[in-house]
Amino acid sequence: MTEFDVVVIGAGTGGYVAAIRAAQLGLKVAVVEKQKALGGTCLLWGCIPTKALLEHAHALKIMQHASDWGVTGVEHVGINMSQVQSRKDRIVSGLSKGVEFLFKKNKITWIKGTARLAGSGVVEISEGETTTLRATKDIIVATGSSPRSVPGIAIDHKRIITSDEAIGLSSVPKSMVILGSGAVGVEFASIFRRFGSEVTVLELLPRLVPVEDEAVSAELLKAFRKQGITAHTGAKVTAARVNVDGVDVDAQLSDDAVRTFHAEYLLVATGRGPVTTGLEIERLGVTLEKGYIRVDDMYRTNVPGISAIGDVITMGRPHPQLAHVSSAEGILAAERIAGQQVRPINYDHVPGCTYCDPEIGSVGLTEQEAKARGYDVRIGSFPFGVLGRAKMAGETEGFVKIVSDKKYDELLGVHMIGPRSTELVAEATVALRLESTVEELIHTIHAHPTMAEAVGEAAHATHGAAIHV
Ligand SMILES: Cc1cc2nc3c(=O)[nH]c(=O)nc-3n(C[C@H](O)[C@H](O)[C@H](O)COP(=O)(O)OP(=O)(O)OC[C@H]3O[C@@H](n4cnc5c(N)ncnc54)[C@H](O)[C@@H]3O)c2cc1C
């Protein structure tokens, strides 16, 4: 039995970051990972491959509008999927190798195989022969999540697929129905529509990207329609049948009409469930809720010496399944285990980015949430359409919307859809973190000409003083 201070199970953005931070703090760390490569969902099947595909879609968009840019000689624009896939794969494997390098640099032991909790402080890995590890301080469970379906829809991974298969398609599908309009659903809608597929999005809730501010959802619907993406909200998918050339999808639409959609693929993007199979964590008395590991705000389970972070956890309230959240939790858990003073994460300040076209960036309370919490809400928004930088980029859709509290001028949330929103949200995140007022944003000088001017102008607009509208 080999002894470590900390044994981390899972090398996703939660686990590998926790391991590096623990090692930086002088702890002896092992990471057990069942995949052959490091990086987990984000790096191997999630954030990185999808955003790589979206960059290809963006490049194609620019080329399709070559004549607007005065670029000549590009009359027949198309996309070569094998080149797209090999570039994407190179990016993914390069980044995964980067994590391997960081493990070596920080003297972290990588153990390949599937872990199970075999007793107090004991982790067992069966990969041919059995390896047993003892964690003298803590075990951090960071086993993440995997795609889940909805009743009546059986994923066959061939025609009825998940994001895991969608990222690897070797040719552009003629048509695709996407079930669910969360971040994953709308990002794939943007990718495949730009590549040339007929795309239909079916969403059960009354609007696209349901976690976003309502104004953002409405703007995305408008943009999708312009791009030729068909979107039905309030649509309940009841069945899907695979046939010779694709799949038939039955849905009851918002007007109660029942329709069958035919497509080459049905992409199920209805969320992800926790991965705890084979861990045998319940045997040690760890509390699970709907399969998620219950933790406190320091990521401790109810069993001393076992912590959990990332997509696999619940804290008794909605927990965002995001890479940067899992990493922040990993750092906090590692620092707490190393004996440092740590403060809980404020989940109201977690930025969310959706890289569809147009992009969405948001942080803090939506207008609806702020009203529900009893704030006397004051709103200010500013359209990208009048901004010099947006006109130059040919990206004039969308706006920045600020949600604030009238009484104290406190900034409560910033929601944006439009060019570079996934980058611009960083400014808003710092402002929220520093408990900024809107006035402080107004007095922050935004360089010209930049997309960030839209944030400054939205702050001015909140006080009824936008300059350029
Ligand atoms: C298509 C897609 C796009 C996404 N895009 C974004 C994005 O743009 N931005 C963002 O913030 N988030 C994004 N996400 C979400 C993000 O990927 C996850 O929130 C993040 O990966 C969670 O990290 P984690 O460490 O908790 O779990 P994971 O990354 O899932 O890692 C868990 C690891 O544990 C391993 N494991 C599981 N069980 C065992 C076991 N018993 N023994 C050993 N190893 C085990 C798994 O193999 C895996 O490597 C996306 C997700 C998807 C699916």
Which of 7, 41, 312, 322 to mutate to test ligand 1, by most ligand atoms within 8 A of the CB atom? Answer: 41
CA of 346 to the centre of ligand 1 (A): 21
pLDDT digits (tens, 9 = 90+) for 230-274: 999 999 999 999 999 999 999 999 999 999 999 999 999 999 999
| Whole-number pLDDT of residue 21 | 98
Encode pLDDT of 350-405 as tens digits.
Answer: 999 999 999 999 999 999 999 999 999 999 999 999 999 999 999 999 999 999 99
211 close to 365: Cβ distance less than 8 angstroms: no
Active site residue 448: yes
Q: Determine the distance separating the centroid of ligand 1 and the alpha carbon of 40, expressed in angstroms.
A: 5
Q: Which atom of ligand 1 is nearest to the CA of 32?
A: 43
Give residue 37's region: left, alpha or beta (phi > 0; psi -120 to 50): beta
Name the residue with the closest Cα to ligand 1, atom 19: 322
User: Ligand 1 atom closest to Cα of 324?
Assistant: 11
* Dihedral sign (CA 108, 113, 114, 118): negative
Choose which residue among 42, 146, 148, 299 to substitute to test ligand 1 binding: the one with the highest number of ligand atoms within 8 A of its C-beta. 42
Model's pTM, two decimal places? 0.97
Q: How confident is the model at residue 127 (pLDDT cuts 50, 70, 90)?
A: confident
Of the residues 157, 443, 448, 468, which is catalytic? 448
Q: How far apart are CA 174 and CA 209, in angstroms?
A: 24
Q: Are 391 and 447 in contact (CB under 8 A)?
A: no
| Count of C-beta atoms within a 10 Å radius of residue 239 | 13
Does 321 contact ligand 1 (Cβ within 6 A)?
Answer: yes
Residue 227's pLDDT band, with cuts at 50, 70 and 90, is: very high
Nearest CA to ligand 1 atom 33: 10
Can you give the length of the chain in residues? Answer: 469
Residue with tokens 């979206």: 54
Phi/psi region, residue 309 (left: phi>0; alpha: psi -120 to 50; beta: rest), is: beta
126 pLDDT higher than 90: no
Ligand 1 and 48: CB distance under 6 A? no
Q: Which atom of ligand 1 is nearest to the CA of 311?
A: 26
Pocket test for ligand 1, best of 47, 100, 103, 146 (most atoms within 8 A of CB): 47
**Residue whose CA is closest, atom 6 of ligand 1?**
47
